[in-house]
Amino acid sequence: MKKLIALVTFLAGLPGLAGIYLLWKLGTLPPGAMLIVVNAILFRGVCGTLGGVLLWTGRRIGSYLTLITWSYLIVVSILTIVSLYNKGLDLTTAFHAEHLATFGKPLGWSAAKLALGIPVIYILITDLLRIGKRAA
């Protein structure tokens, strides 16, 4: 199970590294946008890719970095859903063709990250607690 979590985390982290290209391509950004991009690079990109690799190799630090990545993804997903709701999200029309780009795709990706992230966090915390009890 940890190998699968490691692979999914690594793949989830790669888009975060694309933020480096975004910073290079766009140059200067407003401070708020810069904060968002740097957070994505650090918490999703670096922690995700590095955490995935280290978790794959069985290192405990990989579990911690993976927890950081999935916590970040869950928080961003919740914020996205709240933002969509504030913009008038209606689940009955969110996936209709005329609303798909505005509501459907962001809602779908956020729901997928929540559906993956919550079990991943549970599995990793349970595993870390079990390892901690064995070491004590």
Q: Domain range holding 107?
A: 2-135
Q: What is the pLDDT of residue 67?
A: 97
* Dist CA 85 CA 107 (whole Å): 10
State the total domains in the chain.
Answer: 1
Q: What is the pLDDT of residue 25?
A: 82
Q: What digits encode the pLDDT tens for the residues 68-79?
A: 999 999 999 999
Q: What digits encode the pLDDT tens for the residues 93-135?
A: 656 666 666 677 888 899 999 999 999 999 999 999 998 888 7
* Dist CA 73 CA 99 (whole Å): 23
**Residue in 2, 1, 136, 120 with CA at minimum distance from that of residue 60:** 2
Q: What digits encode the pLDDT tens for the residues 9-66?
A: 999 999 999 888 888 887 787 888 888 888 999 999 999 999 999 999 999 999 999 9
Q: What is the pTM of this model?
A: 0.86
Q: What is the pLDDT of residue 94?
A: 59
Where does residue 6 rank: exposed (0-12), middle (13-18), buried (19+ CB within 10 A)?
A: buried
